[in-house]
């Protein structure tokens, strides 16, 4: 049974999510939601050109480091899940077998990472089963912390304010996410980001289609702050359910053949994403027709928006913002960084 499940899960990791607001150092944008392409990518490229492949591979709670491998076998010191509420699960058990219990989302924040800003292709080793090619023009294993700051883009946040953040899904691994800050004057490590973990403002999230702020729908978010790391840190469940089979829908070029893993936030808003057309060989080939590929791109051309609270006592200055998505389906942590300037509130003249 264990061998069968492991074999069934091996080709499922084509996946990606990327922070789309504020614009990250990988040139992401609200407009590019649902794709994995740079803003200037030619239209005739495949939908899977790797622009969002910044993640950490083989990362499981209780382990001292990521292994840069894929599989369901953890290190010698795996943790039992710290979050046990069934409402927070995003992937079902396979029969009686809990295939995801050692994956990051089952213990949010506890899994180690190679880099809080992601690694090109997930690590230095190439794994055909998870399509872990580096983004075009980037060497595999390149650390996202070493990407240059975007030119012509300046994101300023007033301390004590609530600010909008967003990400988009290209391959739906379930799990949940958080946002964190680290001063650029510090050593930019995962520990630094954990010391500046951000809380969400309220219990609402929004679905926004591409960069159209007039096409936005609110729904009630599912947050968790017990069993998380750092202690008391707030995380949010990925609200978009994958297809209900163990693969989540990968390889299903047309439509999901099963109901969703759980109830979607909006009617019909579920599936694996554009990477459901990925063939799992690692060379970027698609199994879909052009029509099927376009269907998934359009279906997932939305952003998941939240508002986060900027602490009122946060020192002003230059920061990196890290988006961290702990997967449930896979032993992966997807992450990337944006540049943010924290400023003082503007004083009103009387």
| Half-sphere exposure of residue 29: CA atoms within 13 angstroms, side-chain side | 11
The number of domains in the chain is 1
CB atoms within 10 A of CB 43: 5
The pLDDT of residue 137: 84
- Yes or no: say if 272 and 255 are a contact pair by the CB < 8 Å rule: no
Pairing of strands 17-21, 162-169: antiparallel
* 8-state DSSP, 294: H
| Half-sphere exposure of residue 200: CA atoms within 13 angstroms, side-chain side | 23
Residue 119 is assigned to a structural domain of this protein = yes
Residues 6+ apart with CB under 8 A from 325: 17, 167, 173, 175, 176, 177, 238, 333, 334, 335
Residue 97 is assigned to a structural domain of this protein = yes
- Yes or no: say if 309 and 208 are a contact pair by the CB < 8 Å rule: no
- Yes or no: say if 290 and 46 are a contact pair by the CB < 8 Å rule: no
Q: What are phi and psi of 144, to 5 degrees?
A: -60, -20
Helix count and strand count (H, E) for the chain:
3, 13
Which range of residues forms the domain containing residue 324? 2-237+300-343
* Distance from C-alpha of 172 to C-alpha of 243, rounded to nearest angstrom: 9
Instruction: Please calculate the CA angle 32-271-176 and round it to the nearest 5 degrees.
Output: 75
* Distance from C-alpha of 143 to C-alpha of 162, rounded to nearest angstrom: 30
SS3 3: helix
Q: What are phi and psi of 70, to 5 degrees?
A: -120, 135
Buried b (16+ CB within 10 A) or exposed e, 304-341: bbbebebeeebeeeebbbbbbbbbbbbbbbbbbbbbbe
Residue 81 is assigned to a structural domain of this protein = yes
SS3 349: coil
Residue 293 is assigned to a structural domain of this protein = no
Residue 252 is assigned to a structural domain of this protein = no
The pLDDT of residue 10: 39
Positive or negative, the CA dihedral 53, 113, 202, 220 is: positive
* Distance from C-alpha of 90 to C-alpha of 335, rounded to nearest angstrom: 19
Residue 349 is assigned to a structural domain of this protein = no
pTM for the whole structure? 0.92
The pLDDT of residue 141: 94
* Distance from C-alpha of 290 to C-alpha of 157, rounded to nearest angstrom: 41
Residue 23 is assigned to a structural domain of this protein = yes
What is the signed CA dihedral for 213, 35, 120, 127, rounded to 10 degrees?
150
CB atoms within 10 A of CB 185: 10
Structure tokens given for 128: 């055909």
- Yes or no: say if 201 and 309 are a contact pair by the CB < 8 Å rule: yes
> What is the chain's pLDDT, residue by residue, as a tens digit (350 residues)?
333 333 334 344 445 789 999 999 998 999 989 888 776 666 554 445 678 889 999 999 999 999 888 766 778 889 999 999 999 999 999 999 999 999 999 999 999 999 999 999 899 886 665 556 788 788 999 999 999 999 999 999 999 999 999 999 988 999 999 999 999 999 999 999 999 999 999 999 999 999 999 999 999 999 999 999 999 999 999 999 999 998 898 877 668 889 999 999 999 999 998 878 765 544 555 667 778 878 888 899 999 999 999 999 999 999 999 999 999 999 999 999 999 999 999 865 44
Residue 325 is assigned to a structural domain of this protein = yes
Q: Which segments within the chain are labelled E, that is strand?
A: 17-21, 54-57, 119-120, 156-158, 162-169, 176-183, 204-209, 216-220, 223-224, 235-237, 302-309, 317-326, 332-343
């Amino acid at each position: 049974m264990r061998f069968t499940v492991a074999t069934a899960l091996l080709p499922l990791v084509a996946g990606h999510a990327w922070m789309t607001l504020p614009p990250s150092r990988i040139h992401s944008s609200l407009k590019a939601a649902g794709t994995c392409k740079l803003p200037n990518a030619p239209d005739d490229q495949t939908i899977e050109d790797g622009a969002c492949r910044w993640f950490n591979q083989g990362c499981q709670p209780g382990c001292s480091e990521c292994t840069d491998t894929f599989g369901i076998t953890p290190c010698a010191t795996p943790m039992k899940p710290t979050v046990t509420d069934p409402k927070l699960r995003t992937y079902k058990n396979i029969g009686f077998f809990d295939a995801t219990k050692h994956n990051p989302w089952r213990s949010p924040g506890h899994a180690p990472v190679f880099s809080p800003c992601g690694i090109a292709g997930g690590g230095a080793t190439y794994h055909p089963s998870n399509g872990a090619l580096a983004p075009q023009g980037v060497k595999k294993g390149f650390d996202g912390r070493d990407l240059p700051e975007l030119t012509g883009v300046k994101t300023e946040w007033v301390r004590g304010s609530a600010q909008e953040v967003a990400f988009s899904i290209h391959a739906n691994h379930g799990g949940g996410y958080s946002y964190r800050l680290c001063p650029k004057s510090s050593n930019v490590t995962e520990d630094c980001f954990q010391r500046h973990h951000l809380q969400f403002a309220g219990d609402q999230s929004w679905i926004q289609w591409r960069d159209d702020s007039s096409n936005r729908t609110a729904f009630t978010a599912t947050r968790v702050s017990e069993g998380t790391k750092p202690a008391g840190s707030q995380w949010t469940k990925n609200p978009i359910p994958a297809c209900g089979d163990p693969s989540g829908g990968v390889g299903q070029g047309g439509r999901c053949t099963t109901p969703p893993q759980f109830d979607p936030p909006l009617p019909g808003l579920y599936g694996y994403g554009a990477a459901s057309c990925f063939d799992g060989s690692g060379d970027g080939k698609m199994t879909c027709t052009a029509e099927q590929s376009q269907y998934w791109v359009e279906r997932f051309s939305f952003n998941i928006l939240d508002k986060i609270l900027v602490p009122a006592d946060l020192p002003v200055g230059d920061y990196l913002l890290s988006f961290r998505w702990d997967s449930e389906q896979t032993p992966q942590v997807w992450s990337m960084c944006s540049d943010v300037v924290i400023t003082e509130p503007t004083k009103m003249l009387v």
